[in-house]
Structure 1
Amino acid sequence: MTTVLIVASNVPAQPAVLTEALERFKGRGARVAVACFFDAAELEIDPALAEIRSFAVPKEQIDKRLRTALGRAPANRKIWLHAQRSGWLMKWARTADLLVAIDPRSVHTVWEMAQRNVAASACYGLVPALRALDAGVSAPVTTRLERQVSATAARGVRGARRAAISSAKTTLRKATGQKVMGTPAGAWLWTRAVSAPKIPDRYRSKLAARVHDSAVRAGRHAEAARAATAAVSRITNAATRAELLTKAAQSELAVGRVPERLHDAISAQLTLADSLLRKDRKRAATALSNAWSLASNRVLHFDRLSSPLVDDPAGYLAPFRASEAARLLSAPRGRSVPAAPVPSGRPLRILLATLINDNFLHEIRQRYEAMPNVEVRFLDLDDDPARRSLARSGSSVIEHKLAGHTPYGEKIEEWLRPHLDWADTVFIDWCQATAALFTMPDPGDTRIVIRLHSFEAFNFWPHLVDFSRVDDVVFVSDHLRDLSTAVLPQLLGAEAPRLWVIDNAMDLQRYARPKPAQARFNLGMVGVGSVAKDPRWTIEVLRHLRRQDERYQLLLIGSDLNAKTSVAAKQYADLLKRDLAELEPSGAVQRRGQTDDVPAALAEVGVIVSSSVRESFHCGLVEGAASGAVPVVRDWPYFAGGAHGARTLFPADWVVDSPAQAAERILAATATEEDWRRSGQAAAEHTLKTWDWTVTQTAFDRLFLTD
């Protein structure tokens, strides 16, 4: 009886064809097995026709050694790596008379089997397999002997080559590993080896990236920088140079450091983008995307207590402003007609648009939905499951901006045109993907209004917005406007949008609740989930206070700090854990966690603290002040010393420069219960008359209801 082994890596496009072939094999008296590298249940084949086995292994069940091999193997070898581990399958492979691959990915596996079973015939496709069966599958003895010798020799050569390569790679990996690079001799040797002459660029780049990464992990940052510099000086290919510098920067970011050659890496990607601009815009877009990914990496701006962008906006963004490709991203394309005035004969139609986050739209939406002369629609781009992926592809937007016309742009036009045609005004909250997408098509006479919060100023999305198609940009504070105009020069000039500073829409009256006397000694922070909130600063304030009076304690309201965003965030979180381990057992610090009833949580807070390094406005602080807590505001370092900041946003006596000053203010304001209640009441009155929704809504009326 002839035995046939069929190997399939994917479900056949036409399962009926396989079923028909199996019936023909059976009709010719053949015994058949089918090895499926997917769920065999998808075939729905009668077991009487063939013995069917599935070799689909869940990723979590794959051992580490095989997972490593699969990660390095080309696609056509992955099936074979799985196959050779199955005793059942290899037994069939050794005894089958006919080996059949029915799809391209299984060809290599059948070829490997044929090298081990030289007596078998091997073919690709079911029709050739049936022909081979009809013709007789046994090869002459002499041919089998020749194939045996040839296959054995070939396997030996391949095995020896793989063993040699594997051994060489292992040796190199160990020789350039963290332990070796952690020694002065190892660091000295390899930082010079990467600049040796006559090494091809691609090998030099890989070696240098490995040496740099090991040196960084070993804490030898100077040697890491020297290795990258030495290798780059020898590399002539622009793409390879950009790739090496980018990998070097990424390895430093991965350990929470600002890369020493960050600007060089960004500039190399931008130089590559400029060189590709007219011959390969897709690759140019990839290079631009790489540059922006580096420049807006969260380690640089969010998971540390400083930002190079804030320190020097013009210098930090200079490579982008010098790049032709980067300038194309925000090049003004204009609009066919100016925005129409507010209609007088019918209700004003307002579209409120966002992506996922509508936290700051509730009061705005309720107010204008209740007005008889206004029609409101709400659009969250994430609510459309068929199109939401379009809103998350910054690289597609970049490619469209470089090309001027792409199928992606046509999809965006098709998606957003009905909304633009309906609305008189589109109010886009958050200057990110939504803002970039709405300014890709010509808005016609629809007015476009964008509100920019602080997060976006450090991101790449505002640089993809065509502000020549935007009528108004709204900020929640003067210092945020100052930073944004320094980052985005297109917001200034005669043709720029109108700029507004309008406070966040907040219903603050609901926070006024009675406070128990004990609250006088309770410091509170609302929201400590990010490094920028810098709760360790407030803990230092607490230490100052408890040296005077141990009744003072700190209530942390909200989720714990997220340490998973980066190594830099984890480094800060580890320091915070030490502080908490010291203070929590005595009750000096209490974590209250996330709550849906913030007014109730604030009723226990006597002093509300803003210890952040940056804030656009800080709603949590203002809500605490509205509750009658005494406000203490650190002079936010990102903006301290500028024309505007915490000192121009809040009353002067709220703002302090240091933990020691904060403790002095708190001790004075809480010296007696009467002093504390008087200070808290004054803060609440100022807050309500300055930032409550009953006050700020008039500014939104001017924004929406006037030309």
Structure 2
Amino acid sequence: MTNHPRERERASGVGDAGSPRADRPGGAASERPRSLRALVYGDVDLNIIDGSAIWAQSMTQGLAAAGCEATLLLKAPVTTDRLVAPLTTVPGVVVRRTYEERLVPDAGPRGLTPDQAVELITRLDAEQRFDLIVVRGKRLAIAAAQTEALAGRLWTYLTDVPQTVAEMTATSVSEITDIAVASRFLLCQTEELRGFLESTIPAACGKSVLFPPVVVTPEGVSGSGAPHEPLKLVYTGKFAQRWNTLEMTELPAALAARGVPAELHMIGDKVHRDDPDWAKRMSKALESASGVVWHGGKPRAEALRLSAECDVGLSWRAPEMDASLELSTKVLELGSLGLPVVVNRTPMHERLLGADYPLYAGETLDSVADTLTLAADPEIYREAAERCRAAAADFTLERAAARLRGYLDLACPPAPAGADPERPLKVVIAGHDLKFFTRLAEYLMSLPGLDVRLDEWEALRSHDQYRSKELAAWADVVICEWCGPNALFYAEHKRPDQRLVVRLHRFELYAEWPRKLDIEKVDAVVCVSPYYASLTRELAGYPADKVVVLPNWVDVAQLDRPKLPGAEYTLGMIGIAPSRKRLDRGIEVLGELRRRDPRYTLAVKSKQPWDYWWVWNRPEEREYYERTYRMVQRDPLLSEGVVFDPFGPDVATWLRRVGFMLSTSDDESFHLAPAECAASGGVPAVLTWPGADTIYSARWLHESTEAMADAIHAIVSEGRFDAARRAAQAEINENYSLSRVCDLWTDLIVHGKVPAEPEPGAVVRA
């Protein structure tokens, strides 16, 4: 587990950004005493209008709109203030002009190097500590990741990273892993990029969040809503080979040959010179090609006004760009003006505009010219323009600010009511395996008013006794994750004025440690479900009021992602060892369903049983798996319907293709997988193991594999999948969201307050 640096003076924004999270029950958080301070630096030149420069401007605006004091640090000397000047009038924004202020005396004429930028950021941070530091550019991010003083506060925007498995070399994996470890968030432009990163970089899981392009258009500026004659095409941005900008200059002539008078308006002044011959031809075409009007570089607002006077936007790119995991800001900007845009047909564009969008481009100049002739038809024009306008509505500054407020609440929560940041409560978290407590620990460490330290034991019985004794003497509150030797140690060394909380799992309930624990020294024993709380009281003999229920958490924000097409036909299982997880029952459900519809499949995300020595060394376990796997291999109905996926933390990405999560175990203490699937927009399917009815409502419980298959097929075949998954998601969000569970733990730690336990047989409620 990675320790994340504490920030004693951490606080939050004022106004809307400073209010407690909307999903916080009981208003557990206090108001923030000051605005958050954010620094934005991109390894980009704001003198050149392109997507990266627009990002720096819009990110700064978004943070200011979210309630931050936002400082934009410039890489290069200002030769044109087309992008910088509009920021000087935005409340809460400060622009630091590196060259004009002589902040780096030895800076070269073309802008700061990544090392110079990181050194300057670190120096400015030492003068006025920033709560978050937003950076863009891979080389810059690598340098920042090596700077310990910035660790945990970096919000790294990733674009110039490998976007295919072939490009993701061992060096790239190592570099991006370092960036992920040092960052609080990895800001990803699209769901596709986030999924790719999580599938290839385990450290990115749980830190990758969406920050799509931001569209800010001048007030009152929009297109006419109908095509004109001549048809005015517009392209804005850089001029580069893969962007097909040279081929675009031939479109007016190609359209004239089809009887469609046309002009091409091109806005921008950055010509890529990787190929000098191409650059020369591009420059000549801008100046002299028939039907081409070159406006040169313009301030962003002026570029948008000129675009609004045109009819159709162009974002036609070379085929090798189709695999890009990024979304063009220009497409969204033009769409927000009410202009239809010619784009390549890609899965991302189909999700954005629909598979039947009428202005998809082909690979050749002639095919694009044919597409543009359609745009001259008023009906087709209006349909395409409305699609683009509707798509752009999800990328406004207001949407970006709301998204950023949510991330700010996660990264920099306000102090809990009753906690004093000047005299923080001292908390120790002790255990040999903290993987089930990681997100809770990270949250507690982020809270002003709490000083949290970890006592990570090497093994159940192995630890640094001197450090543990020091922490026992230091702490106000001790949390023991697992009721094992760690709990016995801290109970033995507990002071009368100290509070001790022990979280007990199924694993240790049947061991000797709970019965050896001096329960009089313990203030609360935490179980994750009412059933196991009752079982703990019975087997360990603990007083009823000492055993409390704090459920497992589900990171609903991370898991809530768009399902892939056909997800309703995919069953899922996570973790199939040991045999009491009953993979065989899951396969029985699959068999029942495939007899009705061969589209059903079962995806199993798990280590294999032979990966666990303590499972594979037991003859009865080995025999069970050999028998089960033979059944799959030999049955034609099943052999093509089961897919085994590797174990890993990329659960949120994997769940995008899963519609139903099976829980077919003999017993479970909670079983998180069905809840995670529900949070992802899927449906739980749970056999009634003991206590399941205290965690999941009756609509998701089934008495047999046959009944489970019947229920799943009825939901799918009767068209009720969307309704069922919405209901499941609402239930899990209400009961087990990470924010709710974090608040429950905060109340327990700060105030000793525990929630009332639900009645027997009732699902836990907020």
> TM-score range, shorter-chain basis?
0.3 to 0.5
Q: Larger RCO: Structure 1 or Structure 2 (Cα < 8 Å, ≥ 6 residues apart)?
A: 2
TM-score (norm 2): 0.41
Judging by fraction of residues, say which structure has more helix: 1
**Bigger CA radius of gyration:** 1
